[in-house]
Amino acid sequence: MAYNLKEVVANKPSRFTSGHRMCAGCGAPPVARMILRALKEEDHAVIAGATGGMEVSTFIYPYTAWTDSFVHTAFENAAATLSGAEACYQSMKKQGKLPEDSHTKFIAFGGDGGTYDIGLQSLSGAMERGHDMVYVCYDNGAYMNTGIQRSSATPKFADTTTTPAGSIIPGKMQPRKDLAKIMVGHHLPYVAQTIALNNFKDLYEKAEKAIYTEGPCFINVLAPCPRGWGYATEDLMKINKLAVETCYWPLYEVIDGKYKVNYKPAKKLPIEEFLKPQKRFKHMFKAGNEWMIEEFQKEVDARWQELLDLEEIANKE
């Protein structure tokens, strides 16, 4: 059904309000705001926030930027906390303590530190148990809240405080984890990868699908960090666009195990276009370090081709 996204957004109240303390140019606030706008106005949400940059900046007692019910949990157990709340809700409905027609949705937000790493065990458990909930990872590629330490979401060769680029070791030496693929391996009804800005339609539609698909769903959203990535705050839209146009961060969804690529660049840009505006990669452009860019490009190309192959397999079935 055709619709006007601007009208939809304008006519819905923001469930994630202004006045939070996130940095200018941060990708995380638009993620939360747009995903919550995908909720129907009559629906209530229970939100769990893993300890991290967004939690400590949006829920400073006695103030909060969240208009729905919000539970602050530890780094490691946002998914476990939310799955317990969802199980309690289902039990209370069966016991007649809540109306059968009550509408409450369960959404967790966590950064890559609290999702890829520290929270992976509880996330995997909640997804495997089949709770009716959505887990959203806002991926900024490092532990930004505690000093820009590397995480398993940090891309190869990135300069962080725990993987400083030097003459011996040129930044982080491991490729980033493919968390969306790990979630697909849990046989979920819906998994998606999208982006904070530059394509609000993609983010909104995937959030709506995830929230209103019965069962456990997962969304991975690229949420750039100006401090950790080293770009000018006004360049957030530019960074997001380059991440998609170079295929560093493809937009795709997996519905009942079948892959669908939502955007294919007419002319795929070289990865240098994405790397160059970021200070965390500046060492890669020094004379003699061309091999890093070449290696980075090979990894991006291989992952992009794998994704296209998976879509082709799904189309043949």
Report pLDDT for 30: 86
CA 262 to each of CA 49, 117, 199, 202, 280: distance values in angstroms, whole numbers, following the listed order: 28, 27, 11, 8, 29
List the domain range (segments joined by +) for residue 44.
Answer: 5-316
All residues at 6 or more sequence positions from 39 whose CB lies less than 8 Å from its CB, including other chains: 15, 45, 105, 211
Number of domains the chain contains: 1
Distance separating alpha carbons of residues 135 and 115, to the nearest angstrom: 9
Query: Structure tokens of 309?
Result: 């192959």
All residues at 6 or more sequence positions from 156 whose CB lies less than 8 Å from its CB, including other chains: 171, 172, 173, 174, 175, 176, 295, 296, 299
Bridge partner residues of 218 (DSSP): 135, 191
- Sheet of 252-255: strand order equals 69-73, 44-50, 104-111, 134-139, 217-222, 190-195, 252-255, 258-261
Residue with tokens 């370090």: 289
Distance separating alpha carbons of residues 170 and 238, to the nearest angstrom: 26
- Tell me the CATH number at 288: 3.40.50.970
Amino acid at 258: K
pLDDT average per 10 residues of sequence, the chain (317 residues): 72 85 86 92 94 88 90 95 97 93 94 96 98 97 95 98 95 97 98 85 95 98 95 93 97 98 97 98 97 98 98 92
Write the DSSP symbol of residue 113: I
Distance separating alpha carbons of residues 207 and 172, to the nearest angstrom: 32
Predicted TM-score (pTM) of the model is 0.95
Q: Residue 64 CA to chain centroid, in angstroms?
A: 21
Q: Is 150 left (phi over 0), alpha (psi -120 to 50) or beta?
A: beta
Instruction: Confirm if 223 and 140 have CB atoms less than 8 A apart.
Output: yes
Report pLDDT for 68: 94
Q: Write out the E strands in the chain.
A: 44-50, 69-73, 104-111, 134-139, 190-195, 217-222, 252-255, 258-261
Report pLDDT for 24: 84
Helix (H, G, I), strand (E, B) or coil at 34: helix
Distance separating alpha carbons of residues 154 and 314, to the nearest angstrom: 29
Report pLDDT for 22: 86
Report pLDDT for 198: 64
Instruction: With CA atoms as reference, report the closest residue to 177 among 51, 313, 303.
Output: 303
Query: Structure tokens of 60?
Result: 């400073």
Distance separating alpha carbons of residues 234 and 92, to the nearest angstrom: 47
